[in-house]
């Protein structure tokens, strides 16, 4: 049976929908209310509180901690300063992604790595003859993601210190209600947000403090349905939705490289040896076989397909994560890739999807066709290739004075 997270006594009391799923062996709420849409709206207009405790969490300490991580991950760990967080992937010898996650440098020789799948054995295998202590602290810590435009103000009202100048992808140790915690300005929603890591024994105290003060900041607990809508808008790939870990499949068709997933910016080929480096160097030289891009699906085309059945336009109420064919032509004769995740975006008023396409069809502005099935019949609906993220407000990376308006702020942590 799935285990309760350190916050379960509180999340269970809030979950009137009784809609749960298993996430890495833990119970996670799909939505707390009967309808998830208000939780999504909280992410974009107030604050949403997600229990992300099921993430795997590893502490690495010792003289060779940075050296081990540089051998394993694609980023250049030597460039990560104390108090900084970086997003990274790690690959097998063929350059295929095993997993992705965040790496925080807590001290000179102290790092915290988060992952979606168990990674302890992979770290240990690569640590032979190194002076490094690797500890799986997953059950010892609860984690919350506080995301949305009012998240900074809410946290500032609770912490003992000052987080107003905490930069994007930076961490700080703080206290809330006397409880020590580590705050990182990170998240999976593409909005202003923070992740809070706390010892399990203090989890309930932290939750209560946030809930007690959150009403003044339009905060509400939110589940995985709202989180998935937000992360698709943010153009963030997800394991088991947009890619499969190479450690969980034996089929080459299900294995992808960082370049194919739009994560080439995380691959630092110029650093010393890391696992998968030679394969990725060769791929960089010849170009990836696929590219991950966004598409905006033509609503008139969807409406036209439904009208053939005398039905009005129907749009997905929740996000979807199913492989869906993409074609270069309306007759569905030439498949050029697939969509992996999609959602109707209430804030953008667009039907968007993340896709993996052949390079010749992935140029911005290209016209493609996505397969839609209605009443057992298949249709090709027009769509246009666009850049991701779909939603990228300046407040995500900006300081406390940055206006809360959508836009493209560029750059990566």
409: confidence class by pLDDT, cuts 50, 70, 90 = very low
What's residue 347's pLDDT? 97
DSSP collapsed to 3 states, the chain: CCECCCCHHHHHHHCCCCEEEEECCEEEEEECCCCCHHHHHHHHHCEEEEECCCCEEEEEECCCHHHHHHHHECCCHHHCCCCEEEEEEEECCCCCEEEEEEEEEEECCEEEEEECCCCHHHHHHHCCCCCCEEEECHHHEEEEEEECCCHHHHHHCCECCCCCCCCCCEEEEEEECCEEEEEECCCCCCCCEEEEEEEHHHHHHHHHHHHHHHHHHCEEECCHHHHHHHHHHCCCCCECCCECCHHHCCCHHHCCCCCCCCCHHHCCCCCCCCCCHHHHHHHHHHCCCCEEEEEEECHHHHHHHHHCCCCCCCCCCCCECCCEEEECCCCCCCEEEEEEEEEEECCCCEEEEEEEECHHHCCCCCEEEEEEEECCEEEEEEEEEECCCCCCCHHHCCCCCCCCCCCCCCCCC
What's residue 265's pLDDT? 98
What's residue 175's pLDDT? 98
Query: Residue 410: pLDDT above 50?
Result: no
What's residue 343's pLDDT? 98
What's residue 402's pLDDT? 74
> What percent of the chain is predicted at pLDDT more than 70?
97
What's residue 407's pLDDT? 39
159: confidence class by pLDDT, cuts 50, 70, 90 = very high
Query: Residue 413: pLDDT above 80?
Result: no
What's residue 403's pLDDT? 65
Query: Residue 411: pLDDT above 80?
Result: no
Question: Which residue spans of the chain are classified as CATH 2.40.30.110?
Answer: 291-386
What's residue 147's pLDDT? 98
Give tens-digit pLDDT for 200-228.
Answer: 999 999 999 999 999 999 999 999 999 99
Mean pLDDT of all residues belonging to the chain: 96
Give tens-digit pLDDT for 70-125.
Answer: 999 999 999 999 999 999 999 999 999 999 999 999 999 999 999 999 999 999 99
CATH 2.40.30.110 is the classification of domain 291-386: yes
What's residue 401's pLDDT? 75
What's residue 399's pLDDT? 85
Question: Which residue spans of the chain are classified as CATH 3.30.1360.120?
Answer: 8-56+139-222
| CATH class name, domain 8-56+139-222 | alpha beta
What's residue 400's pLDDT? 78
Query: What is the rounded average pLDDT of the residues 47-55?
Result: 98
């Amino acid at each position: 049976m799935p285990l309760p997270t350190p916050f379960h006594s509180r999340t269970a009391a809030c979950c009137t929908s009784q809609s749960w799923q298993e996430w890495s062996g833990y119970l996670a709420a799909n939505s707390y209310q009967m309808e998830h849409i208000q939780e999504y709206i909280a992410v974009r207009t107030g604050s949403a509180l997600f229990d992300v405790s099921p993430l795997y969490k590893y502490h690495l300490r010792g003289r060779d901690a940075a050296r081990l991580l540089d051998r394993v991950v694609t980023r250049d760990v030597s460039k990560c300063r104390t108090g900084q967080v970086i997003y990274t992937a790690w690959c097998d010898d063929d350059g295929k992604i095993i997993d992705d996650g965040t790496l925080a440098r807590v001290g000179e020789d102290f790092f915290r790595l988060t992952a979606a799948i168990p990674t302890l054995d992979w770290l240990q295998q690569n640590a032979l003859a190194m002076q490094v202590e690797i500890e799986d602290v997953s059950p010892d810590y609860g984690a919350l993601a506080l995301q949305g435009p009012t998240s900074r103000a809410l946290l500032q009202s609770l912490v003992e210190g000052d987080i107003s100048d905490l930069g994007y992808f930076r961490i700080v140790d703080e206290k809330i209600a006397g409880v020590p915690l580590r705050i990182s300005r990170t998240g999976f929603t593409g909005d202003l947000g923070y992740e809070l890591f706390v010892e399990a024994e203090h989890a309930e105290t932290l939750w209560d403090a946030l809930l007690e003060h959150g009403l003044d900041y339009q905060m509400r607990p939110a589940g995985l349905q709202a989180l998935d809508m937000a992360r698709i808008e943010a153009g963030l790939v997800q394991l088991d939705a947009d890619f499969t870990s190479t450690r969980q499949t034996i089929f080459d068709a299900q294995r992808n490289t960082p370049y194919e997933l739009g994560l080439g910016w995380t691959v630092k080929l110029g650093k010393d040896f890391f696992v998968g480096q030679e394969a990725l160097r060769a791929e960089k030289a010849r170009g990836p076989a696929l590219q991950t891009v966004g598409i905006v699906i033509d609503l008139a085309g969807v409406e036209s397909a439904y009208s053939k059945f005398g039905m009005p336009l129907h749009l997905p109420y929740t996000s979807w994560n199913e492989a869906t064919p993409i074609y270069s032509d309306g007759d569905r004769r030439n498949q050029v890739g697939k969509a992996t995740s999609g959602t109707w975006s209430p804030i953008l008023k667009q039907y968007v999807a993340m896709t993996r396409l052949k390079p010749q069809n992935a140029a911005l502005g290209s016209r493609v066709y996505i397969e839609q099935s209605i009443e057992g019949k298949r249709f090709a609906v027009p769509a246009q290739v666009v850049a991701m993220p779909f939603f990228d407000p300046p407040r995500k990376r900006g300081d406390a004075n940055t206006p809360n308006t959508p836009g493209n702020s560029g750059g990566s942590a």
